[in-house]
């Protein structure tokens, strides 16, 4: 398998090539084929977020530069200087093919990766922002939230319109806080990770995590308050990945990475092993989960069984991970047509019977008659 990790200490990208069963913490276990360093820089220019498309890796650096790397060689092919002007908390490629980034102060920038000389689109959203995401089912729709900034869903442009020509911000949904607690105190608000759920047109369905260890869901058909509100952790939840319409994987600031059914409010299990906070998780084709964080290990787990399938020490704290390839992808046998399968089975059966006949013959010759 092939994993890339953003090295927080050096500002570089670590590329890990390994197979299933690799574990650098066990001397006699399988070791990685290679752990290589690319895109070396400095801690002041460390990578804050990474994302990918089919051919390129996008990295947002602490100095505000957007760097684009070839996915095969990890060589820098483009750099857009000064795209972000603060602490970037979000980076993704939208359905329109443009690159979106947002700072913790709510400064959103949109760049065209195919034409970096084009002046980026910039606009401001209000609040202390921790999460800014796109609706993967509706072009032009986005959501954000943060410290004392409750969930808001906004539309930036109509589908198939170009944001560079038709930016028009309108509020689609604005969440309302839960009622005061049993002491009649206002409940604090701090969304940390937000994700859209699939829904009919003109209906907003969202799941999010909070700095207070909660998992909440919203459905605009049922009002503005959370439909579901579960307490998952005593620690802040800082990463989240939606698996399906009822399950997520998320991690907190302690050591826990959990699989959680947010409909039933049931903890389904934990991905064990970390001895520090997990800063980044990556879902690879709904089969593997890749994690990286403060303990300087890249770990890969089977998403369903939660068993660890690879563990590699990279020597640096990790801010972002992406699993690019799985070695099992290349190990799949080519499919055979029914006639070929039948012939193969017949040949195997003939060989098996031949071996049994030989063994039977040897036993007969070895018998002594008294």
- First-to-final CA distance of the chain: 63
Confidence of residue 269 (pLDDT cuts 50, 70, 90): very high
Asked whether the predicted pLDDT for residue 347 surpasses 80, the reply is no
Residue 142 φ then ψ, to 5°: -140, 165
In a domain, residue 260? The reply is yes
Q: Which residue has the tokens 């999460």?
A: 131
Q: What is the pLDDT of residue 55?
A: 96
In a domain, residue 151? The reply is yes
In a domain, residue 246? The reply is yes
Q: Exposed/middle/buried for 59, CB within 10 Å: 0-12, 13-18, 19+? A: buried
Comparing 366 with 116, the larger pLDDT belongs to 116
Q: Which residue has the tokens 């084709």?
A: 285
- Could you list the residue range(s) of the whole structural domain that residue 181 is in? 2-365
Instruction: Look up residue 364 and give its DSSP letter.
Output: H
The alpha carbon torsion through 291, 294, 297, 299 (nearest 10 deg) reads -20
Ramachandran class of 287: left when φ > 0, alpha when ψ lies in -120 to 50, beta otherwise = alpha
Q: What is the pLDDT of residue 9?
A: 92
**Of the candidates 257, 216, 265, 226, the residue with the CA atom closest to the CA atom of residue 239:** 257
Tokens coding 59? 């990295």
Instruction: Look up residue 18 and give its DSSP letter.
Output: -
Q: What is the DSSP string of 280-326?
A: EEEEETTTEEEEEETTSEEEEEETTT--EEEEEE-SS-EEEEEEEE-
How high is the mean pLDDT of the chain? 91
Nearest-5° Cα angle at 172, 169 to 178: 125
Q: What is the pLDDT of residue 341?
A: 44
User: What strands lie across the sheet with 228-231, from one edge to the other?
Assistant: 191-196, 205-210, 214-219, 228-231
CA distances 299 to 4, 89, 286, Å, are 12, 23, 16
Residues 324-344 have pLDDT tens digits of: 999 776 554 444 454 544 444
Q: Exposed/middle/buried for 27, CB within 10 Å: 0-12, 13-18, 19+? A: exposed
**Of the candidates 13, 55, 61, the residue with the CA atom closest to the CA atom of residue 38:** 13
Confirm if 277 and 238 have CB atoms less than 8 A apart. Answer: yes
- Give the number of domains in the chain: 1
Confirm if 38 and 74 have CB atoms less than 8 A apart. Answer: yes
- Antiparallel, parallel or unpaired: β 308-313 and 22-23: parallel
Instruction: Look up residue 366 and give its DSSP letter.
Output: T
In a domain, residue 313? The reply is yes
Other residues' Cβ atoms within 10 Å of the Cβ of residue 294: 17
CATH number for 222: 2.130.10.10
Q: What is the pLDDT of residue 358?
A: 58
Asked whether the predicted pLDDT for residue 311 surpasses 70, the reply is yes
Tokens coding 62? 């602490």
Confidence of residue 86 (pLDDT cuts 50, 70, 90): confident
Tokens coding 44? 């002041």
Residues 37-55 have pLDDT tens digits of: 999 999 999 999 999 999 9
In a domain, residue 370? The reply is no
In a domain, residue 352? The reply is yes
Distance CA 57, CA 68 (A): 6
Choice among 55-59, 169-173, 343-347 with the minimum mean pLDDT: 343-347
Tokens coding 79? 């750099």
Distance CA 199, CA 141 (A): 13
Choice among 53-62, 85-94, 320-329 with the minimum mean pLDDT: 320-329
Mean pLDDT score, 232-252: 98
Asked whether the predicted pLDDT for residue 275 surpasses 70, the reply is yes
pTM of the entire structure?
Answer: 0.87
Asked whether the predicted pLDDT for residue 370 surpasses 50, the reply is no
In a domain, residue 237? The reply is yes
Chain centroid to CA 337: 37
């Amino acid at each position: 398998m092939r994993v890339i990790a953003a090295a927080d200490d050096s500002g570089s990208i670590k590329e890990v090539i390994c197979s299933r069963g690799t574990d650098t913490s066990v001397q006699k276990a399988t070791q990685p084929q290679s752990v290589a360093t690319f895109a070396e820089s400095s801690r002041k220019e460390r990578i804050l977020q990474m994302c990918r498309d089919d051919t390129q890796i996008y990295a947002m650096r602490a100095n505000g530069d957007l760097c684009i790397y070839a996915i095969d060689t990890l060589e820098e092919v483009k750099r857009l200087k000064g795209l972000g002007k603060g602490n970037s908390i979000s980076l993704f490629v939208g359905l329109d093919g443009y690159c979106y980034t947002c700072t913790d102060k709510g400064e959103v920038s949109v760049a065209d990766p195919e034409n970096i000389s084009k002046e980026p689109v910039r606009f401001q959203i209000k609040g202390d922002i921790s999460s800014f995401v796109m609706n993967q089912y509706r072009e032009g729709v986005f959501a954000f939230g943060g410290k004392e900034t409750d969930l808001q869903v906004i539309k930036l442009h109509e589908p198939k319109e170009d944001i560079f020509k038709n930016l028009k911000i309108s509020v689609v949904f604005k969440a309302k806080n839960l009622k005061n607690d049993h002491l009649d105190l206002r409940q604090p608000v701090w969304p940390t990770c937000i994700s859209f759920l699939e829904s009919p047109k003109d209906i907003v369905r969202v799941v999010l995590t909070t700095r207070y260890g909660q998992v909440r869901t919203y459905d605009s058909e049922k009002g503005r308050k959370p439909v579901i509100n579960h307490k998952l952790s005593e620690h802040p939840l800082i990463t989240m990945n939606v698996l399906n319409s009822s399950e997520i994987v998320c991690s907190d600031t302690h050591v826990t990475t959990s699989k959680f059914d947010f409909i039933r409010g049931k903890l389904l299990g934990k991905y064990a092993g970390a001895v520090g906070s997990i800063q980044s998780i990556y879902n690879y084709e709904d089969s593997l989960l890749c994690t990286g964080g403060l303990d300087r290990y890249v770990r890969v787990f089977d998403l369903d069984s939660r068993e660890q399938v690879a563990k590699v020490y990279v020597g640096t704290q990790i801010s972002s991970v992406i699993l690019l390839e799985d070695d099992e992808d290349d190990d799949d046998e080519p499919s055979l047509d029914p006639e070929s399968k039948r012939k193969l089975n017949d040949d195997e059966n003939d060989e098996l019977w031949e071996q049994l006949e030989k063994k039977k013959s040897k036993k007969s010759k070895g018998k002594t008659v008294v």
